Amino acid sequence: MRLLVILPTQVLIDEVVEKVVAEAENGEFCLLPKHRDFATAIVPGIVTFTDDRRATRYVATAEGMLVKSEDDIRVATRSAVLGDDLGSLRRLVAERFIVLDDRERVARSAMAKLEADFVRRFIEFGEPRGERI
C-alpha cells in the first residue's frame, strides 16, 4: 500500500506501508492491503503506520479525512507532525502547536476587532443624522 499524508502546503508522507492504524469518531481502525475501500473523517490524534522495513512510525494529525482506494491510503489534514517515536513526537507537537496557538490567538483578536468595527459602522449607517445611540 502507499500512504500519502497531504497538508494544505505540502505532501508530508509518500511511502510504501504495510499497515495503517488511525482513529475516527467511532473508534480506532486498522487498514491492511486486502481491506475494502474505505473513507472516514479522522479525529485529532496519532496515525500509526508500519513502513516497508517493518518499522513503526507515527504522525500526529489534526482532524481530517482518510480515504483508502485500492492500494492508496490518503490522509488530508490541516496540520500534521511526523515522528519515529512517541517521545520525540510529543515534543514536536507541543512546539508546533504552541506556535499555532499564538498565531490563532492573534488572528482571532484581529477578527474580533474587524467584526466589532463592522457592527459599529453598520449601526452608524442605519442611524438618522444627528442622533446617536
The model's pLDDT over 29-70, given as tens digits with 9 standing for 90+, comes to 999 999 999 999 999 888 999 998 999 999 988 889 999 999
Q: For 96-117, what is the mean pLDDT?
A: 71
Other CB atoms within 10 A of residue 92 CB = 14
Per-domain residue ranges of the chain: 2-84, 85-133
The verdict on domain 2-84 having CATH code 2.130.10.30 is no
Burial of 119 (0-12, 13-18, 19+ CB in 10 A): exposed
- The answer to whether the pTM exceeds 0.75 is no
Please tell me the distance from the alpha carbon of residue 24 to that of residue 125, in angstroms, as a whole number. Answer: 48
